[in-house]
Amino acid sequence: MPHRIPYLIAYDITNTRTQARVRRTLQGYATGGQQSFFHCWLTAAEYRRLLYTLPPQLDPATDRLHIFRINEQTETRLLGKAKTALAADAPLLII
């Protein structure tokens, strides 16, 4: 099974159609998130695929997309209705 690495992906996109397209793409990889903020566990191939498919959809003059790699040893704090994220070695089923 390929090794998965946790990432936080956030975007600020002005065009609503582009927002919807990027959101649908990221929801396919996300284990959690909010409207423009996603927590994803990606393999190296999935990460490369996102780097290839997302930038052409963005307007470099107005849009921003941030991809943050999270160190697996980083302690997280969950507040409110937050749910614990999957561990790196937890089984993950993507259909």
Structure tokens at 6: 């946790």
Positive or negative: CA dihedral 5, 10, 13, 17: positive
Question: What confidence tens digit (pLDDT) does each residue in 23-33 have?
Answer: 999 988 888 77
Question: What confidence tens digit (pLDDT) does each residue in 36-48 have?
Answer: 889 899 999 999 9
What pTM, to 2 d.p., does this model score? 0.74
Euclidean distance between CA atoms 23 and 43, whole angstroms: 19
Decide if pLDDT at 87 tops 50. yes
**Which pLDDT score, from 0 to 100, does residue 90 have?**
55
